[in-house]
Amino acid sequence: MIKVIIADDHAIFRQGLSGLLQSKEGIVVTGEAADGDEALRLIYETKPDIAILDISMPGPGSIEIIKEIRKKGLNTRVILLTMHTNPLMVEQFMKAGVSGYIPKDNAFSDLLYAIQTVASGGKFISPSITREVFDEQGSGQEVQGILTNRECEVLQLIASGLTNKQIADKLLISLKTVETHRTRIMQKLDLHTTADLTRYAIKAGLVK
């Protein structure tokens, strides 16, 4: 029996997917979450084999959740079910430890196959992504699926070479707020240096 939790901030979608999965032999949904904090709580409590997560939901993001899973020594593997198919994002999440990546407009059968593959220790990327997305360039619009508008602004200014103090002055916010945004951006994107942030921003089309 494959134990699964579902985390998505759209209740109708989440409940509909839960019903479909529950109807399939060999799969049991042990919980539903509307945000990252609730997803982590369910993972700790029910120790599912697979966590099906949306990228764009409140609270800790997918990369942070994966880090917490590893920190706790749990065997839960993550499948992302999302509208975002930007190649930069796909690569970033797979490097961070995501085991499956599926667009929401794919067939339900693709998700079932992904669950079986990931539960068996493999990885699954939707064929539609491997055929099309990796040949495309990133876009700022897709980055906004992970970052808030303010975080995108801060990332643009970091990549443009501004210091934290200059960013604070330009955006009329405190230096501490800029530092908090910078830390949050690095956590969400799993990047660790200014050079990494700059390269990401350029690839994503946020700066020239």
Count CA atoms closer than 13 A to 138's CA, side-chain side: 21
pTM (2 decimals)?
A: 0.65
pLDDT at 147: 78
Where would I find the H helices in the chain? Answer: 11-22, 36-46, 62-71, 87-96, 108-119, 127-132, 140-143, 149-159, 164-171, 175-189, 194-203
Binned average pLDDT, 10 residues per bin, the chain of 208 residues: 95 94 95 95 96 90 91 94 78 85 87 91 75 47 67 88 91 93 86 85 73
Residues of the chain with CATH 3.40.50.2300: 2-135
Does 3.40.50.2300 match the CATH number of domain 2-135? yes
CA distances from 156 to 43, 159, 162, 165, 207 (A): 34, 5, 9, 15, 6
Q: Which numeric CATH code is attached to 140-203?
A: 1.10.10.10
DSSP helix/strand/coil, 103:
strand
pLDDT at 127: 67
pLDDT at 130: 54
pLDDT at 140: 52
pLDDT at 118: 92
Residues of the chain with CATH 1.10.10.10: 140-203
